[in-house]
C-alpha cells in the first residue's frame, strides 16, 4: 500500500466517524522477494505482498483495536467498514481505560528512501557467482517496506524504504562454518566481495583440526554479531519501564541494588541512526536518541504512552512492547584491526546462539558458541573450537570482566522476518572479556 492510498483510506474513514469518535490508524506493508539457499543451490524462492492496517477507535475513555489485512484496492472501504463496525460493537462492552493516552498534537512527518535495489535476477546471479562450488546456505530478501500512522485529528506519518538483506553461511564440514551478513539500500560489488573474501579466510582457519575445550573461565573476544545475540535477549523487557516497575527487568540489580556495568559501556536507543520509523501506533514521535546505559550506569527506560499514564511519567515514543529497535553501543579503544593481538590467548567467538536467561533477576545468561569460534594463542589462531555453552551474568561479561570495546562499531541490520521483515538494527563494537564462564 502506498502513501496516497493510506491517506485516502484514513480520510474516508474519518469522514464516517460520528459524535466524539477518534480514530488512530497504522499500516505495516511490504513487497518482498526471497531466495533461500542450501548447498549453493536454491531451496525456495518467491514473493510476498502484504499490508496490515490497524485501527483503534476511541470514544471518551473507551477504546479498542483491530487489525485487518488489506487486499485489492476495491476492497478498502469494505474492510475499513467491517473493522469500524466491529469496534463500534465492542466499545460499549468495555470499561473506561485509565491508562489511555494518544497524541493529540499533530506532528506529521515523511521519510521516503527511493529504491536502489538490484533486480532479483541480478542479485541472484551475483550471489551464485560468489558462491561458486562452495556449500552456501542462507537467505536473500529484498524489497520495499512501509510504515504509516494517521489519525482523525489530521496527523500523517509515513516511512518507506527499500532494503536487501543477504544472511548466509559458508559451510566447510559438519558444524564448521563461517557466517556473514551483507545488507543495505544499494548493492556494492566491492563490499560484497570483501565480505565473501573474509568468510573464505575464516574457512581456511576452520579447516584445521577442531579442539574440545574443557568448561571453565576463558578470556574471550566477542564479535559484534556475538554481542547482537546477547542484546537481542536483553531487548526483551530489560529496558522497559513497565518491567522495571514490576521487578521483571533483568537489569533489576542496577535499579534496586548497586550493580553496575563497565564504565566504558554506554547504550542508547538511537532512532536517528537506525532504520526504523520514528513514530509509534499512538502517534507519538521518538526522540533521536534515548540514553539507556551511560558509562555503565542505568540511565533511562523506554516508556510507552500507556506506561506514561500508568506511572505518571512522560512517554518517549516507545511502542506498546517497550523494546528497542535501534540499539547503539558506543565504541571503545581497542583497535578493531588488532583484536587477536589484544585477545592474546583465549577464545575468539564469531557468533553466539540460543541465548536465554538462566537466572533473570541476576541477569545471568546462557547460550552456545556457534560458527567461527577459534582458540587463539599469542594473537594467532590455533584451531577451531567445538561448540561450548556459556553461563554467566551480564554484570560480569559487560561489567567486572570487560577488558574493553573495539574502536569501530559495526551496523547490523536485523534479518529476522517473523510475520514481516524487521526494521530493527544494532550498532555494536566487539568486546574483549577477561573471563567468561563456560559450563558444558
- Stretch 358-397: interaction string toward another protein, x if CB under 8 A: xxxxx-x-xxx-x----------------x-x-x-x----
Q: How far is the CB of 361 from another protein (least distance, A)?
A: 4
If you write DSSP's letter for every residue of 130-161 in order, what string do you get?
HHTTSEEEEEEEEEEEEEEEEETTS-EEEEEE
Rounded to whole angstroms, how far apart are CA atoms 232 and 255?
Answer: 21
Considering beta carbons, is residue 71 or 132 the nearer one to another protein? Answer: 71
* Interaction of residue 175 with another protein, rule CB under 8 A: yes
Binders of another protein in range 299-328 (CB under 8 A): 306, 320
* Interaction of residue 122 with another protein, rule CB under 8 A: no
* Coil, strand or helix at 73: helix
Q: How far is the CB of 204 from another protein (least distance, A)?
A: 19
H or E stretch at 3? helix 3-15
Binder to another protein among 72, 133, 209, 212 (CB under 8 A)? 72
In terms of C-beta density within 10 A (0-12 exposed, 13-18 middle, 19 or more buried), how is residue 324 classed?
Answer: buried
# binding residues, another protein (CB under 8 A): 88
Rounded to whole angstroms, how far apart are CA atoms 300 and 316?
Answer: 10
Binders of another protein in range 262-281 (CB under 8 A): none
Considering beta carbons, is residue 162 or 165 the nearer one to another protein? Answer: 165
Q: How far is the CB of 320 from another protein (least distance, A)?
A: 8
* Interaction of residue 295 with another protein, rule CB under 8 A: no
Residue 69 per-residue DSSP state: E
CB 40 within 8 A of CB 133: yes
Q: How far is the CB of 47 from another protein (least distance, A)?
A: 5
Closest among 21, 14, 20, 44 to 32, alpha carbons compared:
44
Helices (H) and strands (E) in the chain, counts: 10, 20
* Interaction of residue 168 with another protein, rule CB under 8 A: yes
Considering beta carbons, is residue 48 or 295 the nearer one to another protein? Answer: 48
Binders of another protein in range 134-163 (CB under 8 A): 137-139, 141
* Interaction of residue 129 with another protein, rule CB under 8 A: no
Cβ neighbors of 204 (< 8 A, separation 6 or more) are: none
H or E stretch at 290? strand 289-294
Q: Is the torsion defined by CA of 10, 14, 16, 22 positive or negative? A: positive
Considering beta carbons, is residue 229 or 410 the nearer one to another protein? Answer: 229
* Interaction of residue 354 with another protein, rule CB under 8 A: yes
Q: How far is the CB of 82 from another protein (least distance, A)?
A: 7
Q: How far is the CB of 288 from another protein (least distance, A)?
A: 28
H or E stretch at 381? strand 380-384
* Interaction of residue 439 with another protein, rule CB under 8 A: yes
Binder to another protein among 13, 27, 59, 64 (CB under 8 A)? 64
Rounded to whole angstroms, how far apart are CA atoms 68 and 322?
Answer: 23
* Coil, strand or helix at 303: coil
Rounded to whole angstroms, how far apart are CA atoms 358 and 365?
Answer: 5
Binder to another protein among 23, 27, 34, 251 (CB under 8 A)? 34
3-state helix, strand, coil in the chain (%, to 5): 25, 40, 35
Rounded to whole angstroms, how far apart are CA atoms 338 and 40?
Answer: 32
- Stretch 40-59: interaction string toward another protein, x if CB under 8 A: -xxxxxxxxxxxx---x---
Binder to another protein among 16, 60, 99, 211 (CB under 8 A)? 99
* Interaction of residue 70 with another protein, rule CB under 8 A: yes
* Interaction of residue 82 with another protein, rule CB under 8 A: yes
* Interaction of residue 16 with another protein, rule CB under 8 A: no
Q: How far is the CB of 163 from another protein (least distance, A)?
A: 15
Q: Is the torsion defined by CA of 249, 255, 256, 261 positive or negative? A: positive
* Interaction of residue 177 with another protein, rule CB under 8 A: yes
Considering beta carbons, is residue 152 or 406 the nearer one to another protein? Answer: 152
* Interaction of residue 203 with another protein, rule CB under 8 A: no
Considering beta carbons, is residue 177 or 183 the nearer one to another protein? Answer: 177
CA atoms within 13 A on the CB side of 24: 19
Q: Which residue has the cell 554467566?
A: 392
In this chain, which stretch among 3-11, 120-128, 400-408, 428-436 interacts with another protein, using CB under 8 A? 120-128
* Interaction of residue 74 with another protein, rule CB under 8 A: yes
Binder to another protein among 61, 77, 78, 337 (CB under 8 A)? 78
Amino acid at each position: 500500500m502506498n502513501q496516497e492510498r493510506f491517506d485516502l483510506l484514513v480520510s474516508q474513514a474519518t469522514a464516517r466517524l460520528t459524535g466524539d469518535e477518534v480514530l488512530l490508524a497504522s499500516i505495516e506493508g511490504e513487497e518482498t522477494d526471497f531466495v533461500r539457499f542450501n548447498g549453493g543451490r536454491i531451496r525456495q524462492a518467491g514473493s510476498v505482498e502484504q499490508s496490515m492496517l490497524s485501527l483503534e477507535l476511541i470514544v471518551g475513555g473507551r477504546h479498542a483495536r483491530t487489525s485487518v489485512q488489506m487486499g485489492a484496492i476495491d476492497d478498502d472501504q469494505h474492510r475499513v467498514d467491517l473493522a469500524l463496525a466491529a469496534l463500534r460493537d465492542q466499545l460499549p462492552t468495555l470499561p473506561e481505560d485509565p491508562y489511555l493516552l494518544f497524541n493529540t498534537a499533530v506532528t506529521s512527518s515523511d521519510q521516503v528512501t527511493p529504491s536502489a535495489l538490484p533486480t532479483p535476477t541480478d542479485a541472484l546471479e551475483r550471489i551464485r557467482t560468489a558462491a561458486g562450488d562452495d556449500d552456501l546456505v542462507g537467505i536473500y530478501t529484498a524489497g520495499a517496506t512501509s510504515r504509516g500512522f494517521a489519525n482523525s485529528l489530521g496527523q500523517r506519518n509515513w516511512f518507506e524504504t527499500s532494503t536487501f538483506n543477504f544472511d548466509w553461511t559458508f559451510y566447510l564440514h559438519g558444524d564448521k562454518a563461517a557466517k556473514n551478513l551483507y545488507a543495505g539500500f544499494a548493492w556494492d560489488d566491492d563490499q560484497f566481495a570483501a565480505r565473501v573474501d573474509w568468510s573464505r579466510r575464516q574457512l581456511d582457519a576452520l579447516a584445521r583440526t577442531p579442539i574440545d575445550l574443557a568448561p571453565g573461565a576463558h578470556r574471550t573476544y566477542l564479535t559484534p554479531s556475538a554481542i547482537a545475540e546477547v542484546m537481542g535477549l536483553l531487548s526483551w523487557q530489560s529496558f522497559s519501564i513497565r518491567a522495571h516497575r514490576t521487578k521483571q527487568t533483568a537489569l533489576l540489580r542496577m535499579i534496586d541494588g548497586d550493580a553496575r556495568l563497565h564504565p566504558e559501556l554506554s547504550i542508547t536507543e538511537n532512532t536517528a541512526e537506525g532504520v526504523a520509523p520514528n513514530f509509534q501506533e499512538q502517534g507519538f514521535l521518538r526522540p533521536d536518541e534515548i540514553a539507556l546505559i551511560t558509562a555503565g550506569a542505568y540511565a533511562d527506560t523506554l516508556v510507552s504512552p500507556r506506561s506514561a499514564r500508568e506511572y505518571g511519567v512522560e512517554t518517549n515514543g516507545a511502542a506498546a512492547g517497550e523494546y528497542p529497535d535501534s540499539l547503539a553501543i558506543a565504541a571503545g579503544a581497542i583497535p578493531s584491526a588488532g583484536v587477536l593481538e589484544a585477545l592474546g590467548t583465549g577464545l575468539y567467538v564469531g557468533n553466539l546462539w540460543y541465548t536465554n536467561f538462566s537466572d533473570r533477576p541476576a541477569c545471568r545468561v546462557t547460550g552456545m558458541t556457534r560458527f567461527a569460534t577459534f582458540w587463539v594463542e599469542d594473537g594467532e589462531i590455533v584451531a577451531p573450537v567445538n561448540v561450548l555453552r556459556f553461563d554467566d551474568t551480564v554484570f560480569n561479561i559487560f561489567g567486572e570482566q570487560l577488558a574493553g570495546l573495539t574502536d569501530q562499531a559495526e551496523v547490523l541490520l536485523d534479518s529476522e522476518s517473523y510475520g514481516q521483515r524487521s526494521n530493527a538494527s544494532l550498532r555494536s563494537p566487539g568486546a574483549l572479556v577477561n573471563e567468561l564462564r563456560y559450563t558444558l
